[in-house]
Amino acid sequence: MRCVPIARAGVAVLAPLLALTATARAQDGPWALTNARIETVTRGVIARGTIVIRDGLIAAVGADIAVPGDARLLDLEGKTVFPAFIDLTSSLGLASVPVPQAGGRPGAAPAAAGAEAPAPVGLEPYRAVADELRPAAGDVKAARDAGFGAVLSAPSRGAFRGLSALVPLRDSAATLELIRSPVALHMGFQPVAGRYPGTLLGVIAYERQAFYDAQRQGTLLDRYRASPRGMERPASDRRLNALVPVVRGELPVLFAAGNENEIRRAVAMAHEFNLTLTVVGATEGFRALDALKANRRPVVVSVDFPRAPEVTGWSYRAGIRRPPDDSAAADSAARRVIEGNAAAINGAGIRLALASGGMLRASEFLANVRKAIAAGLPRDVALEALTIRPAEIAGAAEQLGSIEAGKIANLVVADGDLMGDSAKVNAVFVDGERYEVIAPAAPARGGARGAGGGEAAAQVAGTWAVAVTTPQGGQNITMTITQSGEAFTGSMTTDMGTLPITDGQVSGRTVTWSVTVPMGGQSMVASFHGEVEGNRIRGTADLGAMGSAPFTAEKNP
């Protein structure tokens, strides 16, 4: 296993948080998991078998495996063991980036005289995610509790986003050893806020010109290496140098493309420049099956399902015509089409992996996978799409994705079939370290309840630091809330001034509110919907015509 250590910077900040939130500790020595039903994924099902873990690897697996004398026994009678899942659409460990200043990333030191100026955020094909990762313990635990053992971390916005890293979901403050880095160049069609390319047309032109320039740069470099005498040295341009292996098909590209037009544009660009391209997202893949099939590459399909009105031409092109007096029936029909997206892609003979989409709460991930299965995706295909197939796309199939001797011991222990309706994750092994998953306690009988007899309303009064990743870049906001029962008021202070909160409501752990944003004599209503997790809120902001954006909020002490 090739590992890349991350620098220790920021450890002092992370250590107290890790100490407070970790629910399991790393354990030394070998394990013997006995009497388990084992879904190996690549080598069938072992109805009753043993897995031996030593030094973070699977030392042996089978029905008749001798238990080493020094191993700790874990009797898994009645349990099923799966390979841990892999999410290829994560930004775990990456800070929310504010709107970039002209000349490069915020806070960056000015370039020295004669030095190459840093590129704006979102136009950095050389950006190495491995150098920036500072994973928060709560985020690691949330993903791991949903069955993930590793995530592919990359920035979620921009045209040239950077080089991703495959991250193991271990509790570790001092060091974090990556599974693989770099994995791929990540790209998208998002404009750069406040400067060129600031429109979709500009982004496409910028990306195409960059690839043409990289082709030329590669030719010049080859000529100079072959015969430097009498030839001027090619310019040292780290942006173009980073793209040379991309246009030669040596470094894969993971291209975020959700709707039909984005998918077709990405595939066309791959064909034009000979890119080894994997489409990521593909929430309208059912509309672009011909393009995805022509690409002859796997597809990473998000199960963060869009709302029906967000799907291109949903009321007609999906074969769904909204009855004038029955919008619920039309929405239900649209939902079946959306949830059947993965089944349609699989039915077209296209190999796929499933992913969270980056914005889906980890606790909701399995529920949406089960919806995709109910909509026609074969159960065994779904399991492969969570394990061995994402491992293949990430170039780590020899290390992850199945239960085989010699692979990393990333495993999920469940009380039944995780692809079924009610099974729950009991424990996750990452690099052979065991982490128990403790289900949240049910409300005590006779304890505090909401007005309707349900879970009591979460307490959200106080001051919050809100980070919203908008289509125009990151926004940092201070929010102050005063709560009365299930209602609240307050304000959000942004660069545009202080905006009053309206329609603030808390129902159990669900919280919703709106603000009206002035925009050049007009206004836009931004609606927020999130889930309270202790002193944190995660959710999505509906920005009207500007689309939607994920947000997180941290409560100030």
Domain ranges of the chain: 21-82+422-436, 198-251, 462-555
Smallest Cα–Cα separation from 472: which of 491, 490, 494?
494
- Regions in the chain scoring below 70 on pLDDT: 1-28, 96-118, 172-176, 313-328, 360, 362-363, 439-455, 470-474, 495-496, 519-523, 544-547
Q: CA angle at residue 340 from 337 to 342, to 5 degrees?
A: 135
Q: What pLDDT sits at residue 547? A: 62
Task: Quote the tokens at residue 459.
Answer: 């307490």
Q: What pLDDT sits at residue 162? A: 95
Q: What is the CA radius of gyration of the chain?
A: 24
Smallest Cα–Cα separation from 53: which of 78, 22, 84?
84
Sign of the torsion angle spanned by Cα atoms 87, 474, 310, 497: positive
Q: What pLDDT sits at residue 147? A: 95
Mapped onto helix, strand or coil, the DSSP state of residue 475 is strand
Q: What pLDDT sits at residue 522? A: 58
Q: What pLDDT sits at residue 177? A: 83
Quick check: 82 and 411 in contact, CB under 8 A? yes
Quick check: 123 and 192 in contact, CB under 8 A? yes
Q: What pLDDT sits at residue 551? A: 87
State the residue for tokens 């066309």. 268
Class of domain 462-555: mainly beta
pLDDT in tens, 49-93: 999 999 999 999 999 999 999 999 999 999 999 999 999 999 988
Q: What pLDDT sits at residue 523? A: 63
Q: What pLDDT sits at residue 469? A: 73
Q: What pLDDT sits at residue 9? A: 29
Helix (H) or strand (E) segment spanning residue 138: helix 137-145
pLDDT in tens, 2-28: 343 333 323 222 222 233 233 333 345
Q: What pLDDT sits at residue 120? A: 77
Task: Quote the tokens at residue 149.
Answer: 């053992």
Q: What is 21-82+422-436's CATH topology?
A: Urease, subunit C; domain 1 (2.30.40)
> Using the 8-state DSSP alphabet, how is residue 58 labeled?
E
Residues 6+ apart with CB under 8 A from 195: 102, 120
Q: What pLDDT sits at residue 446? A: 46
Q: What pLDDT sits at residue 485? A: 87
Q: What pLDDT sits at residue 4? A: 39
